[in-house]
Amino acid sequence: MLNRRQLLIAGYGSALLGAAAGFWPGRTEAQPAGDWGEAQGYPTGWGPPGQMPRWEAYRPYRAGNFSGGFEAMFRHHLIAAPTQASPLQAEPKDVSYRLGFSRRSVSDYLDQWPVTGLLIARKGRVWSEHYRFGRDSSMRFQSWSMAKSVTSLLVGIALDRRLIGSLDDVPQDYAESLRGTLHGKIPMRHLLNMSSGAKVDHEGDSGRIDVPSITGLPSARTVGTDLEKVVREWSEVSEPPGQRYNYNELCPLTMGMVLRAVSGGSLAQFAQAQLWQPMGAEADASWLTDALGHEYNCVGFGARLRDWARLGQLVAQQGEMQGRQIVSRAWLADCASHGPQDAQVRYGTMRADMGYKNFFWQPRPSGAWLMMNGHLGQRLLVDRASQTVLVQTAMHSEGPMHKELYALFEAAIDSPG
């Protein structure tokens, strides 16, 4: 699996070089539509016959798999929508942005990059909504690691309801199956900040995590997978918890085990009762699971673009939707700030151009923006002050793509209305 952090860092560096030169590249980094499966009708599945079965490596399969195809490949839970959706009204508005010496439109951006869906909204009004590569508004789009931020919202709800007493507690206090294990003894605060101290490499250890947890062996995909076993048996240590940011899948998977234990059911059931239905989603969501029905909650959450926007609106409105406080203001404020115990994930320390907190990314030093960030270009950006939301689903995050996305988002924030 590609390293998400390396993709972001490389893209940001390329963007800075382009800006310093006073110009931006044309289509040299992007790929024509035919490279993404158009000629094959945007196929789904594990890949071409006779080839190694993979879940995201074959480009022609990404459009189909990332917008529903995974649900035919993996076991999954559905998260039922309520009978009445919260308002999200179409109010078309032109948003243009400056890049180098040029003025560009949303269409220019979409023509440049392999984006399957893009939506810009503010306070329940949809200014811009677009679908490409044969996708449409009825499809559920995969989150990849944006699911970690969904997990964060569920942790906040569990804290609000006193199902979890404190982030300084350890997982084995709540999940008996973790008692005596490495991850069972790491304070949850450090799990949420990707600072567990466990010796794990996000890229190098992906085969040791993804294969036994979700994909299964190439000869029998998805058979016999057990993500909780992987978490329980991981025993390698690099340093004490809380010292160093080290992005990995075991941190959110451990928190998923805690949430299942304290809620008495699946994450899907907890999300449906406490988040999805109270928020007023317009359609069912899905969450991929292992062979035992445990959600692979570091990735695997699928939802319509408009429901991703509603999640962004919930964050922008400090956890409130339709007059109901779904997740506390205190939790979302905590996701946007740092205390002494979070020094390793501050903006500029965690990375020169990014901060992190509670499975949310912070693209601005002030914490003014919160971002859900997923592999291969999945993004949900929230400006908390203006309540502007941008959702993007994509098939790759190439070159300076995300830098240009930030320019588009900043233009939307600056737009009146």
Tokens found for residue 393? 């689903």
Q: What is the pLDDT of residue 417?
A: 84
- Identify whether the C-beta of residue 227 lies closer than 8 Å to the C-beta of residue 214: yes
- What is the full DSSP assignment across 370-407? EEEEEGGGEEEEEETTTTEEEEEEES---TTHHHHHHH
Find all residues with CB under 8 Å of 32, minimum gap 6, and list them. none
Q: What is the pLDDT of residue 35?
A: 87
Among 148, 187, 151, 181, residue whose Cα is nearest residue 167? 187
Q: What is the pLDDT of residue 60?
A: 97
Q: Please state, in angstroms and rounded to a whole number, the distance separating the CA atoms of residues 131 and 209.
A: 33
Among 91, 55, 101, residue whose Cα is nearest residue 288? 55
Q: What is the pLDDT of residue 1?
A: 39
Q: What is the pLDDT of residue 6?
A: 41
CA atoms within 13 A on the CB side of 58: 20
Q: What is the DSSP letter of 328?
A: -
Q: What is the pLDDT of residue 166?
A: 98
Q: Please state, in angstroms and rounded to a whole number, the distance separating the CA atoms of residues 196 and 62.
A: 32
Query: To 10 degrees, what angle do helices 4-21 and 401-414 make?
Result: 70
In 173-254, beta strands by DSSP E: none
Kindly list the structural domains of the chain, giving each domain's residue range(s) and its CATH number in brackets, ordered by start.
Answer: 4-414 (3.40.710.10)
Provide the 10 A C-beta neighbour count for residue 409. Answer: 25
Q: Please state, in angstroms and rounded to a whole number, the distance separating the CA atoms of residues 363 and 353.
A: 7
Q: What is the pLDDT of residue 2?
A: 39
Mean pLDDT of the chain, nearest integer: 92
- Alpha-helical (H) ranges within 264-350 are 267-271, 277-279, 305-316, 329-335
Report the SS3 class of residue 254: helix
15: β partners: none
Q: Please state, in angstroms and rounded to a whole number, the distance separating the CA atoms of residues 275 and 280.
A: 9
Find the angle CA(255)-CA(334)-CA(9) to the nearest 5 degrees.
Answer: 75
**Residue ranges of the chain with per-residue pLDDT less than 70:** 1-34
Q: What is the pLDDT of residue 34?
A: 58
Phi, psi for 124 (deg, rounded to 5): 80, 5
| Interstrand relation of 369-374 and 378-383 (parallel, antiparallel or unpaired) | antiparallel
pTM attached to this predicted model: 0.92
In 208-327, beta strands by DSSP E: 285-288, 301-303, 320-321, 324-325
Report the SS3 class of residue 341: helix
Residue 97 Rama label (left phi>0; alpha psi -120 to 50; beta): beta
Report the SS3 class of residue 298: coil
* Count of all residues that appear for the chain in the document: 417
